Chain A
Amino acid sequence: MSTINGEATKAYLSKKSVHTSLWRQSLRRLLKNKLAVFGFVVVAFMFAACFIGPLFSPYTDNKINMAFMNKPPSLKHWLGTDVLGRDVLTRVLQAGRISLTVGLASMVLSVFIGSLLGIIAGYYRGIVDQVIMRIADLLLTIPSLPLLFIFGALLSEWKVPTDYRMYIVMLMLSIVGWPGLARMVRGQMLSLREREFMQAAIVLGLRDRRKLFNHLLPNLVPLLIVIATLNIGGAILSESVLSYFGLGVMAPTPTWGNMIDAANNMIDFQEHPWLWIPPGFSIFATVIAINIFGDGLRDVLDPKQKR
């Protein structure tokens, strides 16, 4: 019932307030969601810290200093030093750069592939749809983690230079990421096609290009934003898992995942917690914050998914 009143309310508010797009309205509602704003602040802080923070660190050269190995946190080294005497805080921030970049880039790539194929499948339907979706189904039937492990093992077997591994990991993550996405986008496209305003577009005799770009895509974007946001978290996690097992990005390039590898060692785990708690906490905080923010976004952009 409250929605009916809400409708009426909105309709008549228009008499005075300036015209607001759904985007502006969503932003206003998002700002009212304290938790989502908190999530966004944490994510923004992580990004800022990782990309700007190291500029202020005197230890960015990662010089190996045996005299300072495995030192606990001190004023000089806020989070202590690692087994090679490198500053842990600097390493965590540099690792964050890689982890966040990998997460972001693989998200962009998988959203691009997934939404492109999903849009094509949903818009043209028929045989194109069949082919795309069967490939997606095939990829979805293979559990992604073992698949990534096999890829990772192959990379090690082929002795791929460590510098390139980061990019290959991104590619791997998007390959396992796109099918779920394509399926969601296709579903949304199919349901949008049936909406009355799309029928109206047919009756008006609009060109395909206009129907696609002016009517379908703008209604798809909110869903894409939500999926994309939530996907970053997933990609960061997957990358961490891979790197933790030594199959993703490898030392000396630091990532949060390969840094927690320290916890694998019983002595480091018990005696030098500053080696694995900071990267572990970074993963935890970043992923949780992204998910909180993503959920908030979903609530304002895609209200039908709620409940």
Chain B
Amino acid sequence: MSEILQPLLEVNHLKKYFPIKSGLLSRTVGNVKAVDDISFSIKPGETFGLVGESGSGKSTVGRTILRLTDKTDGEVKFKGIDLYDLSPQELRRLRPKMQLIFQDPYSSLNPRVRIGDAIGEALLDHGLVPQAEVRDRVLEVLAACGLSSYHIDRFPHEFSGGQRQRVGIARALVLNPDLIIADEPVSALDVSIQAQIINLFRKMQETRGLTYLFISHDLSVVEHLCSQIGVMYLGSMMERASRDELFRDPLHPYTKALLSAVPVPIPKLKRERIVLSGELPNPADPPSGCKFHTRCPYAVARCREEVPLFRNVGSDRSVACHLV
């Protein structure tokens, strides 16, 4: 029983600050708190959606988990192992188990490497399969991702955006990972292609039991794919809930505003819209108290002074708001 409950990925009080340097000696004059004390965990087979607007730090969370950039503080545990305790060699050996899918299918593939090599090289490098079998494994995963066997010798520039994203997915899947972090994987794609890729993500989860951390700004996509959802604003988690709860009854005013701002393709649909006033504050100089108070329609004096705790409400749901 306890084994089932053990989360695959555990993020505890993760912080990532980028120093702001200035002057001749480039002294650090301040910090951009891109990720400011974030905690969440993902159970095996689950899809966790991380939602937020630009500057919310959602992509930095993904990159800090994978140690593409160093953390400032906190803990990242993958299968109970703290990734930041590993030596570079140990980390390298563990990497095939946690893969990343990028937003831009153009820049994430090396233009001078054939698709087959791009997908197969990590298998070879880690010695996961004998050299003679690499090509078979590549062909297998190409087919699973909806690409044809004749694509194997082609170069990235011969593919369309949607096909490239399939290659990116195939490159990750061939390693048989447990966790896939997908950073805005469909936002660069056209609507009709988006649907194909979303379906592919779903199919892969069903057939391979994958666990996803799905980072996106698009709530409609997140709703479609994710079972748990976290909403980020200026580096902090504002609300975390299961999909059904979050979409049925959003608690945080920011979540409510975000949900109501998404344009719905149904004309003349009369919706009550919360249009937020103002712009995203400067992340280098975030507002005091609740970071959202400058744009919150319900803000009271307390919100300006006191940082709301990210606390449990209900069985499996947390929110950071004084008013809830």
Contacts and interface: CB of A to CB of B under 8 A. Distances in A.
Interface of A: 8, 10-14, 19-22, 25, 195-197, 199-207, 210, 214-215, 218-219
B93 A205 contact: yes
B122 A206 contact: yes
B87 to A, nearest CB: 13
Contacts of A10: 157-158
Contacts of B279: none
Interface of B: 66, 68, 91-96, 98-100, 102, 104, 107-114, 117, 121-122, 125-126, 153-155, 157-161, 163, 168, 171, 175
A200 B102 CA distance: 8
Contacts of A19: 114, 153-155, 158
A251 to B, nearest CB: 48
Contacts of B111: 22, 219
Nearest to B126: A205
A274 B94 CA distance: 73
A35 B104 CA distance: 36
Given A22-B112, A204-B95, A210 B158 contact: no
A214 B113 contact: yes
Nearest to A217: B112
A218 to B, nearest CB: 4
A203 B100 contact: yes
A210 B157 contact: no
Given A196-B104, A215-B113, A219-B110, A204 B175 contact: yes
Nearest to A202: B68
B155 A20 contact: yes
Contacts of B126: 205
A215 B95 contact: no
Q: Of B91, B107, B153, B175, which is in contact with the most chain A CB atoms at under 10 Å from its CB?
A: B107
B110 A215 contact: yes
Contacts of B114: 19
A169 B122 CA distance: 47
A201 B161 CA distance: 20
Nearest to B168: A200
Contact of B160 (A8, A20, A201): A8
A205 B92 contact: yes
B61 to A, nearest CB: 15
State the 9 A-B residue pairs at the shortest beta-carbon distance, nearest first. A205-B95, A14-B158, A11-B160, A204-B122, A196-B108, A218-B112, A19-B154, A197-B110, A196-B107
